[in-house]
């Protein structure tokens, strides 16, 4: 798969001979997938109606306050994206979930539901139907480096990586995310949550050298584009992602990669997924960008008050 799933080779490179992997790949949080769906865009009615049309139905302002929000998760085939999609599905009283994946295979792996759509974020036309009619967008897409064959960790040295043609960070993390932001803005979405990675303040970060892709540079460029779009946003720069249970740790907010200089620079994917959804619920999360990590399980107090968590954030970018 071009963008979806995990990079198993990276996960298997836990050798003292390639120690740099634990500090480099830890901060590549996303494994891309896309998709599409159709629904009418929100059309503002006159002040007289005090509502809007959604799916061809006039919705009053009072009804709108009670109606579940339609949220699209792009990259829903990835490990973090799947968690967000499923969490939204579990909260059907609050949200109508949609997922965007890149292939029919990814769609079937997630159950093949009608709210899963197939599209390619590099081709704006294929993702437009999924975005029409949504209230919020959660972007969990990313280019994925692949390890060149032949690497033997027992022999020491460092593995080499590459990106497939058409799947470089410039095409996925810049053009692909720009397409999503443009389509969401045109559809009148109320908020975009974008999950990125810590490390973007350092041009010499090892992730930028992978396959000569400059992945953190392009991610940062997409984040700035979102900030400049005028759409309410929440940018989450996650630390090293762990496949562990969520809800059991104290979450940490940081800025400008300060957390990378500490021992607390990792976080369970499940906690990142929860923060994505909680970010849709509080005004304190809007127009903010922050780094996110967690204390080890068993230390600190598990975070439950997300409003207070977002209130800690003071940075817009």
Interatomic CA distance for residues 84 and 202, integer angstroms: 29
- Helix/strand/coil (H/E/C) assignment for every residue in 101-126: ECCHHHHHHCCCCCCEEECCCCCHHH
Nearest CA-CA partner of 4 in 36, 22, 31:
31
The Cα–Cα gap between 246 and 269 comes to: 7
Integer Cα distance of 131 and 182 in angstroms: 10
Active-site hit among 197, 209, 229, 294: 197
Strand segments, DSSP code E, in the chain are 43-44, 51-54, 57-60, 69-74, 95-101, 116-118, 136-139, 146-147, 161-162, 191-197, 233-238, 240-242, 251-254, 266-268, 288-294
Q: What is the three-class DSSP state of 27? A: helix
Check if 197 is active-site. yes
SS3 category, 100: strand
Whole-angstrom CA distances from 123 to 73, 78, 96, 108, 172 are: 17, 19, 25, 22, 10
- Give catalytic residues, as residue numbers: 197
């Amino acid at each position: 798969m071009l963008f979806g799933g995990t990079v198993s080779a990276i996960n298997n490179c836990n050798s003292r001979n390639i120690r740099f992997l634990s500090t480099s790949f830890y901060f590549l949080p996303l494994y891309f997938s896309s998709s599409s769906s159709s629904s009418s865009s929100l059309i503002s009615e006159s002040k007289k109606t005090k509502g809007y049309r959604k799916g061809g139905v006039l919705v009053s302002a009072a009804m709108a306050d009670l109606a579940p929000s339609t949220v699209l998760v792009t990259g829903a085939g990835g490990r973090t994206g799947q968690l967000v999609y499923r969490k939204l599905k579990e909260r059907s009283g609050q949200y109508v979930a949609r997922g965007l994946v890149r292939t029919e295979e990814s769609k079937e792996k997630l159950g093949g539901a009608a709210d899963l759509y197939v599209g390619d974020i590099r081709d704006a036309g294929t993702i437009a139907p999924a975005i029409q009619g949504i209230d919020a967008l959660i972007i969990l897409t990313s280019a994925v480096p692949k390890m060149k064959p032949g690497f033997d960790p027992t022999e020491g040295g460092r593995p080499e990586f590459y990106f497939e043609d058409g799947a470089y960070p410039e095409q996925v993390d810049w053009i692909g995310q720009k397409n999503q932001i443009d389509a969401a803005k045109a559809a009148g979405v109320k908020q975009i949550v974008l999950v990125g990675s810590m490390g973007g303040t350092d041009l010499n970060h090892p992730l930028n050298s992978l396959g000569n892709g400059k992945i953190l540079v392009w991610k940062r460029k997409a984040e700035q584009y979102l900030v400049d779009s005028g759409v309410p946003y929440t940018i989450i720069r996650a630390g090293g992602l762990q496949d562990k249970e969520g809800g059991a740790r104290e979450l940490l907010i940081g800025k400008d990669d300060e957390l990378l200089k500490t021992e607390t620079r990792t976080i369970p994917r499940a906690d990142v997924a929860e923060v994505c959804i909680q970010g849709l619920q509080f005004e304190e999360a809007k127009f903010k960008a922050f780094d996110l990590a967690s204390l080890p399980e068993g230390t600190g107090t598990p975070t439950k008050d997300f409003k207070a968590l977002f209130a800690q954030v003071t940075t817009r970018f």
